[in-house]
Amino acid sequence: MERKINVNGREYYFATTYDGDSQYNVQVRSGGKVVTMFKIAAESEEDVFDAAQAHFSADVEMGNINV
């Protein structure tokens, strides 16, 4: 599943795949470039996007990801 999400005024595409045990692989893209990839634990696919946005926003704020 894929969703367009705004983070700090910029649009990113979050794509998720389920890998079992309530773990989702998340890929974040800006245009055609992959910005980062990480795993998120969530009970449903709907919950994963909120958790992924929070995770990505925190990484950007802390300077772990340069966008």
- State pTM to two decimals: 0.88
**HEC secondary structure over 22-37:** CEEEEEEEECCEEEEE
Residue 67 belongs to some domain of the structure = no
Mean pLDDT of 63-67: 85
Range of the domain at 42: 2-62
15-57 pLDDT, tens digit each: 999 987 779 999 999 988 999 999 999 888 788 999 999 999 9
The Cα 41–Cα 28 span in angstroms is 16
Is-contact 62 55, C-beta < 8 A? no
Residue 50 belongs to some domain of the structure = yes
Per the structure, the count of domains in the chain is 1
In this structure, what token pair is assigned to residue 16? 């998720």
* Residue 65 one-letter amino acid: I
The Cα 58–Cα 33 span in angstroms is 20
